[in-house]
Structure 1
Amino acid sequence: MRRRLLLAALGLPLLLAAAGLALDRAFPPHLARLAPGQEVLDRDGRILSVLPARGGIWRLATATEDVPPDLVALLVAAEDRRFWHHPGVDPIALARAAMQWIRAGRVVSGGSTLTMQAARLLEPRPRTLRSKAIEVFRALQLEARFNKREILGIWLTLAPQGGNLEGLRAGSLAWFGRPPARLDAAEQALLIALARRPGALRPDRHPDAARAARDAVLASRGGPAAGMSAIDRDFAMASAMPLRRLPMPRLAPHVARELAAGGVVRTPSTLDLPLQRAAEALAAESLHDLPERSAVAIAIASLDSREFRVLVGGAFGEEGRAGALDLSRAIRSPGSALKPFLYAMAFEAGIAQPQSVLSDLPLRFANYAPENFDRGFAGQVTAAEALRLSLNLPAVALLDRIGPLRFAAALKATGAPVHLPPGATPSLPLALGGAGTTLREMVTLYAALGGGGVAQPLRLTPGEAGPGSRVLEARAAQQAAAALVQPFPGGGPAGIGWKTGTSWGGRDAWAFGIDGRHVAGVWVGRPDGTPLPGATGRNLALPILSRAFALLPAAPREPLPRRAAITAGVAPDRLRLLFPPPGAVLAEGAGSVTLRAMGGQRPLTFLVDGQPVAHERARREASWLPPGPGFFRVTVLDAEGQAARAEVRVRAE
């Protein structure tokens, strides 16, 4: 008999354990609600942007490592003092809750542990005795599967915070605009209190009730157990309440969607949060000065690491479907913005050098007769001047010698392949933007130019940079970059090499710049590709580029010092008469001649044989009609008294 009783006593626990395992396998805990939204972080781990979980719920994964130790201590002291020691269920608390229920005839306290609360948050149910029994079972399951800190993580991720907010990380961002690691004691206590009755304790709707609940956590439960002094507690109780819910972080939304496609809960990026915020504000402000329905995209990257620091995929004047477009990846015509790389290839091949004299006169290439933007001609100019002035005839002539196929192959090698219609092949219009490219690809191209001719992909996520490939000789890249250094019209940061581009019909306005540390690009246009009235890269995109460089820390040294610029044939401040050049021979009866100058301090004065030529004094050109054949002296004077002159001859017909 005793033997049977002993066997029964030993077998009963085993039977119960087997039954428990069977129930556990048959009814495992449901963890689907733990699926969080996603976060994109900047290069220093700061939150750039968050995306909601399914159903539009702002639920962000929150572990104990994401919150201060004081918050954990405050939570345990306020909700479950024996949390670290019980197996998921606290018999003492349950017994006390049962006695209170019997005496009062209603539920006074639930006796729930933090583990039971986590189970209820995973599977919300009506508050009944049956639900309580299920919570007990689920709590035991959670304790068997997770350690105590992981269970706290479930609570921290799912605790309601009012409205569609779940979890202390989401609540902290929405109510205080900071992650929970940066909350003080009063803010921590409010989030803990809010989780009990999120609808009744929302500080924006019920500030008095929220304050009382927060103070109760600090005073009657959380204070002494959490190690707070009376002075600290009184100071925390005097803290102001948040009176409105803040928008969730949403910087770089296009990048956030792109990176979140990988499915990672927290994705680091190479962007710089303060710089990204400033660039987005700049893009939004710029819209006020642009034609209606315009959009602005901005990209800034580090030349050393070849990482994006800013990527504004598109700022729009009107909300709508266009806002979902990432215009940094839209294929558009770059206009003249490809010319610096073309000139660098010519310098490398020995076809020209910065100081070489090129001809900007009417020229036909078979059935192709390019013209300059202003439909005039500068005559004889140096290659560096032709690049800065963005003259079309010299650029097409250089491409004719280099070869369009070779040029297109070199662009592809830099990471900026040209996009042509199906069946089309590169041809001479490529020099003037006769192909498609994107803002990201163009910034990659200018990074190669500013990086001494070494091409590398620009990255959005941290990691080891891939090996670079040399696409240009360092000397040729530096010479082309040096030729671009000139003051911004209207003032701006010094020592920047910049170039603009305008696509055919004014559909796209571009500006790109390089200094010793960064490369930047700006695109202005309409998402639907329709023309912008009077659009040019110089008047629409370049002012934004200048302001973008003003946001950046000054380079430790100019990338192209003055002596390098002079070596490259560049003298940015010297007054020069570009056309007509000395000794030019003009044909009588050919019509007006455009006198053109470069450099110097405006306003300029043009004279022929000492007689002023009428023109707009703010402009660098004037129209002169020769009175007949003969020799003439053309002079230009600037505001500081500098002079440049040329003797020319008008030949009889």
Structure 2
Amino acid sequence: MFDVLRKDMRKSLKIVGIFCLVCATLFIVSLYLPLSKDLFAIQTGMSLKITDRHGILLRETLSAEGGRTTWLQYDELPESVVRAIVATEDKRFFSHIGVDVLALGRALWQNVRSGHVVSGASTITQQLVKMRFGYPRTIFGKLQEMWMALRVERQFSKQDILAQYLNRVSFSNQAYGIEAASRLYFGKPARHLSFAESVFLAGLIQAPSRFNPYRNVAQAIQRQQALLERMYQRRALDETQYQLARQEEIRLIPQQINFKAPHFCYTILESLIQKGRGEQAIQEIAEIKTTLDYYLQEQIENIVAAHISELDAYNVTNAAVLVLENTTGDILAYMGSRDFFNDAISGQVNGVLSLRQPGSTLKPFTYQLALERFYTPATLLPDILEYPVAPRSFLPENYDRKYHGPVRLREALACSYNIPAVRVLETIGVEALYQRLHEFGFESLRELPTFYGPGLTLGNGEVTLLELTRAYSTLARRGKYLPERAILEVKPYSPYGTSDSQPAIQKFSPRVIYLLTHILADRQSGIAAFGENTALELPFQTAVKTGTSKDYRDNWTIGFTRDYTIGIWVGNFDGSPMRKVSGITGAAPIYRDVMLTLYRDHPPMSLLDSPPPGIVTARICPLSGDLVAENCPHGLEEFFLEGTEPTEPCKMHQAYWVDERDDLLTEPNTPHSVKKVFLQFPPLYQSWAHDRGYPTPPTQLSPYARIVGKQKTRREQASIRIVRPNDGDVYAIDPVLRREYQTLQLSAVVPSGMSQVVWYVNDEPWESVNAPFRAAWAIAPGAHRIYAEGELHGEFVRSREITVHVVE
């Protein structure tokens, strides 16, 4: 039995031995297998250059796999660089076989003692292999890396390996290779580097992100000083060299010089990568000529810096600016933040593409829908608190926290009143506005329309500055949609960009857009809200809209001429609110200065010349929006779509003959009679008019009158409408608050001439009240029927009955 076991053991050992011999043979043979020279071929592609439309270099991007500015041969490498790299990265480079056994053993012992990875002991050859093949960070990957390093050492000289390494290794900020790093950080070729500068660059290799000179220059210098000390201890430099290098000041080229229009360039690169097949897709591109005008960009950067500095006390830290050329869609200026390189204000956040609440800048698209339907610029809109609508209707506040009564659509938009915009949207429908915004390109609004509700017109959704500016450029082209363009030409070939503009598509009615533009360019109609001599006053006409989001977290100014569309955002990337800074005080001054810069040498073409066919004018009363009548004190010219102009004279200005002694009705031929014009508001606005102190027309005959009953007064359709509460409302009794303090306000609008109404609750009279016809009802549990009744010209008029529910 033991003999059998011994025979089996010898047989097994023989098999294992043969297997090991085969493996060893294969391993040795594999070391001598030639590697394809293409794996380490010098790249023919140059570094990718991004220029503005005039050829000004904005950015030079160096791909780890692609082009270099200059590929240096070994004999072109500065001796100081070679000494610094070898001393810091692989001191036995010229003696090991690709794997440093001593360093590997030391690293293994250090890692075992510490319980985690302290050192990887990778040689320069192994690092080169890692750059070229990207083996995984596992034990098997490490073995593959070592095996390939041995093969590389068998085929290439030490000088070739070092040259390959120094032309490929990353020095942070997308600088690959010592030549690129030298030009990036010091503005000179590598052959002119001092010893201190060479060691400084060598120190970046270990952790390019952590030692990034443009982010952590202090750490990078500390790293350099530590390496100099190490080299001195290892006798890699003498005392004189050491002292001179230690004391030499490291003077970096400012980052702004190497990275012009940084957000724009990053956006260009990301766009090309997404359209291609990843980063490799842009390796063969040598140059991208963009639409940007750097002369304009630089001026805008200075404008923004100056204005944001002035707002520092108001907790304003940032701004973003986008300028589009309307005829081509070209991006002429693209500023994503006040300072890309300032981490304290999150400068690398791109404000052009960030999602923010747009405030009132979406209102024009609500009114565009209204003008396409039965509204005109003269249509009266209710800017009042009490309005008979569905229960639990959304009711915002105006910016000035006032109610302005009946306002024409032109005034409502020019003054950016919130309540009329919401009332219009309630009529049009949130779904219609949501669809229209998507037609304009607001793809950021991804929730269902019900998610936003009527607040959509006030900007409760989140959009980007790019989307807003693009949408307003469509208005500038009178309804023609044209995507923005950033690239004019790609060299040596152009699969991603073209110098030909895309054709603009007429998507919206030019007649309606003309009316909308006319309102947005009307500074006079906005005086009631914004006052005179605002930052939007320019020596030429522009159509412009401001916006401020809730709690002053964002403010905007978006506007255009026939030539350009400008979008401005001002705020803080951390979401903190500004101190009472609105679009008119924050973004508008920047808008003004950018417009003046664009038209420094010539005035713009007239924005409102050549109205499209189908636009007519009519002279209207500014208060009622109807045709000017005899008693109207003023009139103005308004624009209308043909067929929508008013045909009825104004009825709000009514003349009465009154006795000057008591302002009561009399005959025109009596002594002391005078003709007096009263404002006779429709019933919907009577409560508002009473609160504002407007006198009501007289309804009683003066006792001084000689002829009784011949004065005719205007009668209206008799009706009383309850505006508060709403039919079906449910209220809960507060168990803590004393019952006598728990009341519900009853409010109604009544016909002209009615001086008193009686409120009824459950068919019992509750209270008799005069204008403004409000009463406070002490709530009680149960279902309650409420109506109001009054007398008009000897007839009793009663409102529709409503029901409210009170629960305990």
**Shorter-chain TM band:** 0.5 to 0.7
**Which TM-score applies when normalising by structure 1?**
0.57
Would you say the 8 A contact 2:359–2:550 is kept in 1? yes
Tell me the residue number matched to 2:381. 358
Q: Which residue of 2 aligns with 1:199?
A: 194
Equivalent residue for 1:49? 59
- Note the C-alpha offset of 1:474: 0.9
CA contact (8 A) 1:287 1:316 kept: no
Alignment of 1:366-385 (within 5 A): 366=390, 367-368=392-393, 369-385=395-411
1:440 and 2:488 are equivalent in the alignment: no
Compared CA separation, residues 401 and 630, structure 1 to 2 (3 A): closer
Paired residue for 1:520? 566
Q: CA deviation at 1:359?
A: 3.7
Aligned counterpart in structure 2 of residue 260 of structure 1, from 269, 273, 277? 269
Match of 1:273 in 2: 294
Structure 1 counterpart of 2:471, one-letter code: L
Distance 1:428 1:348, change over 3 A: same
Give aligned-pair identity as a percent: 23
* Cα distance change, pair 327–116 in 1 and its aligned pair in 2 (3 A): closer
CA contact (8 A) 1:508 1:525 kept: yes
- Match 2:515 to one of 479, 493, 512: 479
8 Å contact from structure 2 (residues 293, 333) kept in 1? yes
Q: Which residue of 478, 481, 506 maps to 1:470?
A: 506
Deviations 1:115-174 (A, max 9, x none): 774699999989999xxxx9xx99xx9xxxxxxxxxxxxx9999x9xxx89688887787
Native 8 Å contact 1:508 1:523 kept in 2 = yes
Residue in structure 1 matching 2:487, options 453, 457, 461: 461
Work out whether residues 483 and 570 of structure 1, in 8 Å CA contact, stay in contact via their aligned partners in 2. Answer: no
- 3-state secondary structure, aligned to 2:372: helix
1:347-383 CA-partner distances (Å, limit 9, x unpaired): 223x222244434333354222233222223333332
Counterpart AA for 2:55: G
Contact between 1:507 and 1:525, CA under 8 Å: does it hold in 2?
yes
Q: Which residue of 2 aligns with 1:612?
A: none
1:617 is aligned to: none
Q: Distance in 2 between matches of 1:408 and 1:47?
A: 41
The answer to whether the Cα contact below 8 Å between 2:554 and 2:569 also exists between their aligned partners in 1 is yes
Partner SS for 1:539? coil
Spell out the pairing of 1:251-400 with structure 2 (5 A cutoff): 251-261=260-270, 262=273, 263=279, 264=282, 266-290=287-311, 291-292=314-315, 294-315=317-338, 319-320=343-344, 322-349=346-373, 351-362=374-385, 363=387, 365-366=389-390, 367-368=392-393, 369-400=395-426
Equivalent pair of 1:313/1:328 in contact (CA under 8 Å): yes
Kindly state the Cα deviation for residue 244 of structure 1 after the two structures are TM-superposed. 7.9
Structure 2 residue aligned with 1:93 = none
Deviation at 1:439, TM superposition (A): 0.8
SS class of match (1:452): coil
Contact 1:337/1:433 (8 A) holds in 2: yes
Q: Is the 8 A contact 2:43 2:67 kept in 1?
A: no
Task: Give 1:585 deviation, angstroms.
Answer: 8.8
Alpha-carbon distance, 1:448 to partner = 1.1
Q: Name the counterpart of 1:85.
A: none
How far off its partner does 1:197 sit?
A: 4.4
Structure 2 partner of 1:614: none
Give 1:282 deviation, angstroms. Answer: 1.9
Counterpart residue number, 1:83: none
Quote how far apart the aligned CAs of 1:557 are.
0.8
How far has the Cα of 1:515 moved from its partner?
0.2
Change (3 A) 1:343 1:27: closer
Distance 1:430 1:253, change over 3 A: same
The Cα of 1:578 is off from its aligned counterpart by: 9.7
Give the residue type in structure 2 aligned to 1:353.
Answer: T
- Residue 489 in structure 1 maps to residue 534 in structure 2: yes
The alpha-carbon deviation at position 200 of structure 1 amounts to 6.3
**Separation (CA, whole Å) in 2 of partners of 1:339 and 1:413:** 15
* Letter in structure 1 aligned against 2:291: T
Say if 1:354 and 1:383, in contact at 8 Å, map to a contact too: yes
Residue identity in the other structure for 1:44: H
Task: Output the amino acid matched with 1:560.
Answer: L
Q: Aligned partners of 1:650, 1:276: CA distance in 2, in Å?
A: 64
Q: Distance in 2 between matches of 1:276 and 1:383?
A: 37
Cα distance change on mapping 1:625 and 1:514 into 2, 3 Å: closer
Gap change, CA 1:171 and 1:283, over 3 Å in 2:
same
CA positional deviation for 1:519: 0.6
> 5 Å matches for 1:225-264?
245=253, 247=255, 248-261=257-270, 262=273, 263=279, 264=282
The whole-number CA distance in structure 1 between the counterparts of 2:52 and 2:252 is 26
Matched pairs, number? 457
Question: Which is further off, 46-55 or 368-377?
Answer: 46-55
SS of aligned partner of 1:427: helix
Structure 2: runs of 5+ lacking an equivalent? 1-31, 96-152, 161-165, 201-250, 274-278, 489-497, 524-532, 626-631, 634-650, 655-675, 677-689, 699-751, 756-770, 772-808
- Residue type matched to 2:51 in 1? L
Instruction: Give the residue type in structure 1 aligned to 2:318.
Output: A
Question: What SS is found at the alignment partner of 2:258?
Answer: coil
The answer on whether the counterparts of 2:470 and 2:484 sit within 8 Å (CA) in structure 1 is yes
* Aligned counterpart, 2:607: 559
Structure 1 residues 31 and 422, CA gap change in structure 2 (3 angstroms): farther
The secondary structure found in structure 1 opposite 2:569 is strand
Asked if the contact 1:628–1:650 (Cα under 8 Å) also holds between the matched residues in 2, the reply is no
Structure-2 separation of matches of 1:390 and 1:470:
27
2:360 touches 2:457 (CA, 8 Å); kept in 1? Answer: yes
Shift of 1:527: 1.2
Q: Is the 8 A contact 1:454 1:471 kept in 2?
A: yes
- Aligned partner of residue 409 in structure 1, secondary structure: helix
Distance 1:128 1:335 in 2: 66
Bigger Cα displacement from structure 2, 420-429 vs 479-488: 420-429
**SS of residue in 2 equivalent to 1:538:** coil
Q: 1:449 aligns with which of 454, 463, 475?
A: 475
Q: What amino acid does structure 2 have at the position aligned with 1:489?
A: T
Offset, 1:35: 8.5
Name the residue aligned to 2:548.
502
Offset of residue 279 of structure 1: 1.6
Report the CA distance shift for 1:420/1:506 in structure 2 as closer, same or farther (over 3 A).
Answer: farther
The amino acid of 1:498's aligned partner reads V
Partner secondary structure for residue 584 of structure 2 = helix
SS of alignment partner, residue 327 of structure 1? coil
**Shift, 1:50, TM fit:** 3.9
1:9 corresponds to which residue?
none
Asked whether the 8 Å contact 1:359–1:394 carries over to 2, the reply is yes
Letter in 1 for 2:259: R
TM superposition shift of 1:459: 2.6
The Cα shift of 1:552 comes to 1.1
The Cα of 1:473 is off from its aligned counterpart by: 0.6
Contact 1:626 1:650 in 2 (8 A): no
Q: Do the aligned partners of residues 168 and 288 (structure 1) sit closer, same or farther apart at CA in structure 2, a change above 3 Å counting?
A: same
Worse-superposed segment, 256-265 or 491-500: 256-265
Contact 1:386 1:394 in 2 (8 A): yes
Give the letter aligned to residue 361 of structure 2.
Answer: A
The answer for unaligned runs of 5 or more in structure 1 is: 1-21, 65-113, 142-154, 177-190, 206-242, 587-608, 610-622, 632-648
Deviation at 1:505, TM superposition (A): 2.1
Q: What is the TM-score normalised by the length of structure 2?
A: 0.47
